[in-house]
Amino acid sequence: MSSPRLFKSGLVDVTFGTGVTIVEPANLYGCELADDVFIGPFVEVQRGVKIGARTRIQSHSFVCELVTIGEDCFIAHGVMFINDLFETGRPAPKDRQDMWKKTEIGNRVSIGSNATILPVSICDGVVIGAGSVVTKSIDKPGIYAGNPARLLRAL
């Protein structure tokens, strides 16, 4: 029998603002956290991600490469960000990260538990309901929910 390759979770090449809180275990690498960011346990934040000041990311959330999250946001438990749309019917090959797409989250955005956010842009002042799947960009403040997420009411 052979031994598996073992990668330990941790903090590698992370840029921290002041007052950042991280609850272990967490896996953060190559990302930027602004002042007073909170990261809950069992969160992964990948390379190149930028998280704005005073944003909270609760447990069991996954923030993949090419995601930017603004200031004063709340990302609830189990939120998943997606950057690969499997446009060829399967994941993009390792050497084709150019097929990945970016996600931009504005300021004062709250995303409910177990929501899935595809590569989109979400403007400031949006609430995404728990369990929603955001498949299209949102350019009007309001409350959105469902699969696919749609506007329930303006804010």
Strand order in the sheet with 44-45: 11-12, 27-29, 44-45, 62-63, 80-81, 116-117, 133-134
Domains and CATH numbers, the chain: 11-154 (2.160.10.10)
The tokens for 56 are: 């909270």
Percent of the chain whose predicted confidence (pLDDT) is above 90 = 88
Q: In whole numbers, what is the pLDDT of the chain averaged over residues? A: 96
pTM: 0.94
